[in-house]
Amino acid sequence: MGAFGGGIFQAVKGFRNSPAGVNHRLRGSMMAIKSRAPQLGGSFAVWGGLFSMIDCGLVKVRGKEDPWNSITSGAMTGAILAARNGPVAMVGSAAMGGILLALIEGAGILLTRFASSQFPTGPQFAEEPVPMSATVFGDYAQYQ
């Protein structure tokens, strides 16, 4: 997913930054894809793997699956990946990761509520069930 999205982004970037002429621009686009898309795909894979590991760990430790696990996982992933750049970068990346995941989780919750409100559920049983009389089965006592 990261390589595909990165490939599209790098194709546009390479096309725009190449000299005039369709052949030059297409060649520049392909060179940008070949040089940068695998790196973006690898970075996305590292981010996704670390996020999933932290998320599953939080589910195990907390014993419940809720949006707070994803938000915390996003913040912790951002902090861990920015650790080599110092504590200020860690705090900034943690805040951005937490905010990004909070927005994603919030959008998911709103979408679920909106979609479920389109299909209201009525009462399961409109009236109290009436017990069947014993004469329904006739003389067959074993069925009562």
Most confident of 16-25, 32-41, 88-97, 107-116: 88-97
Decide if 21 is inside a domain. yes
Alpha-carbon distance of 93 to 140, in angstroms, equals 75
Tell me: do 76 and 58 sit in the same domain: no
**Residue 101 · residue 73 · CB < 8 Å:** yes
Query: Is residue 22 one of the residues assigned to a domain?
Result: yes
**How many domains is the chain built from?**
2
Q: Which of 62, 78, 101 is the last residue of a domain?
A: 62
> Which residue range(s) make up the domain with 105?
66-118
3 and 49 in a single domain? The answer is: yes
Rounded to an integer, the average pLDDT of 84-95 is: 95
| Alpha-carbon span 56 to 48, nearest angstrom | 12
Of the listed ranges 58-67, 81-90, 110-119, the least confidently predicted one is 110-119
Same-domain check for residues 22 and 75: no
The pLDDT of residue 70: 93
For the beta carbon of residue 12, count every other beta carbon within 10 angstroms. 12
Specify if 144 maps to a domain.
Answer: no
